[in-house]
Amino acid sequence: MPLDPKNAVPLEPRKDKVICEECGWFGHNEDVLAAENPFDKDEMVYGCPKCKSVDSVSDAPGCWKKVTCGWPHPDGYRNTCSDHYRVEGVTQSS
């Protein structure tokens, strides 16, 4: 991957960037805390490694945007960003 000679950072886009809406921490998907939900063993909860804020990201697979919508779904109650609000064919487990 080519590097910016001034800053030695990759020039290609990275789509796995994450920012905490609570404290402003930023990092990558692999840095986010993940654990089994103690109230529902079929769900995961995600948290910021700095402030420990939990479940502020969409439950849509591969999406790390802030939760802005909640709605009932046949797979269970959904918490998603506006991009994934009531999107057909997108389930928590897909």
pTM for this prediction: 0.49
In a domain, 9, yes or no: no
pLDDT in tens, 34-64: 888 888 888 888 888 998 887 667 778 778 7
In a domain, 76, yes or no: yes
Q: What is the domain count for the chain?
A: 1
In a domain, 1, yes or no: no
Q: Is pLDDT larger for residue 49 or for residue 8?
A: 49
Contacts of range 83-90, beta carbons closer than 8 Å, 24 or more positions apart:
83/58, 84/58, 84/60, 87/60, 90/60, 90/61
Query: What residue numbers bound the domain in which 25 lies?
Result: 17-84
